[in-house]
Amino acid sequence: MPLTLLKCDESIPSRQQHVYIKAAGEDSRDALPLANTDTIPGTLSERGCSFCGAKLVIGGVLKDTIQIIHGPVGCAYDTWHTKRYPSDNDNFQLKYAWSTNVKEKNVVFGAEKLLKQTMIEAFQEMPDIKRMIVYTTCTTALIGDDPKAVAKAVLAELPDVDIFVVECPGFAGVSQSKGHHVLNIGWINDKVGTLEPEIWSDYTINFIGDYNIQGDTFVLADYFKRMGIQVIAHFTGNETYDALRTMHRAQLNVVNCARSAGYIANELKKRYGIPRMDIDSWGFEYCQVALRKIGAYFGIEDRAEKLIAEEVAKYKAKLDWYKERLAGKKVCIWTGGPRLWHWTKALEDDLGMKVVGMSSKFGHQEDFEKVIARGDDGAVYINDGNELEFFEVLEMVKPDMVLTGPRVGALVKKLHLPYINGHAYHNGPYMGFVGSLNMARDMYNAINSPLMKLAAIDLREAA
Amino acid sequence: MKETSAQLVKFFQENTLWQFFSRTWDREEAISGILGGLETLFRGETIPRESLLEKAFYADAVVTKQQLSAKFPWLGTLGAVELSDVFAEVKAELTDIVITKSKNEELSAELY
């Protein structure tokens, strides 16, 4: 079937280029939705802003770094509390938010003095923290502040600190994806190669594109430790600023989220000759394949097999219990982009579920090539979906549950459909073997909870 | 395309991520390196593992060979000429899907 115009989109026909229903025998040569393009006027996008992509998704995860948000205070709040990425140092990055709290007078007279004062004050208030990222926002970009010049002035006064500046205001791109890009390229240009790591293993990797949502990184770090592999830098879950400066010394880039961090993997290959190995760190079967490939790369296949055997013995029977009960259940995945292709086949292969609809907020066409290759016939694939489209697709495919974020989740709940938080998880981690089991448990509980059915009863009528 | 080759193309489309690397040159390099390595391994020969890139191709090829051998046992019965024909067809079809006729407008962007 070609790209499809949903009924709700009849007044904005250009949305047809963003919706695809896969027919049997088709592949991405036949149709590929537009993606990473401007949101069309008339559609209510669920996207985030480009600043958010840099700060909330990637930079803000670092566990030892002051994150100065140069803008109105709301920009700080909205990129502080909505992701749950813990750390092993008592969650420093979740406890604090920093903002220059720009006001109208700063817009009129400039905010560089305010920025400098805030940066110095932050270092003084937290004398044990010596690393900082400064982000511009829409307001301070528009008034022409020069945060790199300010950072230089601060460095002259505080020579024992290091500062990275991300100039990516919210309007820099069409979605949060631009923020991923700007931070990736800025980091490799400014910081990679400026520090040497201490190497303790013959087997070194960078793990790229995992942000320790509810402890994903802890799961993966445990696997690599058991295999004797040193993670030079984890981009950026539970990681330090300085570790990311040493990424040039790894022997392999293992990439999970290719959308948010494929850029730095490509640049590390181009500039330092470190190859890129893309894997799925979600999914029970996928994890086995990923660990085998990493083991084969280093010639430590025996360690990979031992780890896999231990994990399979621990979790497979429990996963199969859920598989018996989840088989045939229909799911929609409405997340950012990569989770569509990471999850669709994993849910089908591991649990026998059927993914019937997928929507991406910030994916590129590369993501749609992947998900069309992996996804089922008959499934609906949407780029930058809006609420009316969601309602129409839900009516069309009638899922048993939806994997999505709290915003769309609230919409779904109004229809008395269960949703599981596909961004920050319900009860994660969801990566690795244990993560697959956690995800299956959460989906089982959501589908079988009586709550949604009870919520649909009008007590006035019952009385 | 032969049915046997079509089965392999479907497997690669559904299971591998290297075919979808960011740019045309990345995809060409991965398809050639990994499919070439696979054909060599199925012929019973070894593939070089000197450079980091060769190790990466080897790792993908050797694990994919395990998967293919389990799923398509007929692959193990093919002679060198037949293997060459099958992998040539698979390479041509994958190249057609993810490069030549790909609608991905970013494939030819000069920068990452």
What would the pLDDT profile of A410-430 be if each residue is shown by its tens digit? Answer: 999 999 999 999 999 999 999
Record: contact A293-B58, CB cut-off 8 A: no
- Nearest C-alpha in B relative to A274: B52
Q: Among partner residues B22, B52, B112, which is closest to A275 by beta-carbon distance? A: B52
Torsion of CA A103, A107, A113, A114, to 10 degrees: 20
pLDDT at position A44 is 87
CATH superfamily of A204-305: Nitrogenase molybdenum iron protein domain (3.40.50.1980)
pLDDT for the residue A459: 85
Q: What is the dihedral of CA A267, A269, A275, A280, to 10 degrees?
A: 10
pLDDT digits (tens, 9 = 90+) for A340-366: 999 999 999 999 999 999 999 999 999
Structure confidence by residue, pLDDT tens digits, A204-226: 999 999 999 999 999 999 999 99
What are the b/e assignments for A303-337, b being 16+ CB within 10 Å? bbeebbeebeeebbeebeebbebbeebbbbbbbbb
The answer on pLDDT for B1 being more than 80 is no
A107-164 pLDDT, tens per residue?
Answer: 999 999 999 999 999 999 999 999 999 999 999 999 999 999 999 999 999 999 999 9
Looking at residue A376, what DSSP letter applies?
P
Residue A146 token pair: 């020069």
Cis peptide before A429 (omega within 30 of 0): yes
Domain boundaries, chain B: 3-100
Judge: A276–B17 Cβ closer than 8 Å, yes or no: no
User: At B30, is the pLDDT very low, low, confident or very high (cuts 50, 70, 90)?
Assistant: very high
Q: What is the pTM of this model?
A: 0.97
Q: What pLDDT, on a 0 to 100 scale, did the predictor assign at position A1?
A: 62
How close B55 gets to chain A, by Cα (Å)?
5
Cα–Cα distance for residue pair A186/B3, rounded to 1 Å:
47
Q: Distance (Å, rounded) from C-alpha A248 to C-alpha A252?
A: 10
B37-85 pLDDT tens trace: 999 999 999 999 999 999 999 999 999 999 999 999 999 999 999 999 9
The tokens for A204 are 């070194």
Instruction: Identify the bridge partners of residue A98 per DSSP, sorted by sequence position.
Output: A68
Do the Cβ atoms of B91 and B35 come closer than 8 Å?
A: yes
- C-alpha span between A111 and A138 (Å, rounded): 13
The order of strands in the sheet holding A19-21 is A19-21, A380-383, A354-360, A330-335, A401-404, A419-421
pLDDT of residue A82: 75
Is a pLDDT exceeding 90 seen at residue A260?
A: yes
Residue A131: strand, helix, or coil = strand
Confidence band, pLDDT 50/70/90 cuts, at residue A81: confident
- Put simply, the answer to whether B59 touches A293 (Cβ < 8 Å) is yes
> What is the nearest CA distance from A269 to chain B, expressed in angstroms?
9
Q: Which residues of B touch A262 (CB under 8 A)?
A: 22, 112
Please identify among residues 2-61 of chain B the ones whose CB lies closer than 8 Å to any CB of chain A.
13-15, 17-18, 20-23, 26, 52-53, 55-56, 58-60
Distance from C-alpha of A234 to C-alpha of A207, rounded to nearest angstrom:
5
Q: What is the ipTM of this complex?
A: 0.98
- The predicted pLDDT at position B87 comes to 98
The arithmetic mean of pLDDT across residues A73-77, rounded, is: 94
If you average pLDDT over residues A3-28, what whole number do you get? Answer: 97
CATH code for A50-173? Answer: 3.40.50.1980
Q: List residues in chain A touching B: CB distance below 8 A.
A: 27-29, 31-32, 36, 185, 251-252, 258, 262-263, 266-267, 270, 273-280, 289, 292-294, 296-298, 345, 364-366, 369-370, 373-374
Around Cβ A348, how many Cβ atoms within 10 Å?
18
Residue A297 to residue B22, Cβ atoms within 8 A: no
- Indicate the domain borders of chain A: 1-45+327-424, 50-173, 204-305
Residue A440 has pLDDT above 80, yes or no: yes
* Phi, psi of A403, deg, nearest 5: -95, 110
Q: Class of the A1-45+327-424 domain? A: alpha beta
Residue B63: its chain A contacts at CB < 8 A? 289, 292-293, 296
Beta strands in A306-445 (DSSP E): 330-335, 354-360, 380-383, 401-404, 419-421
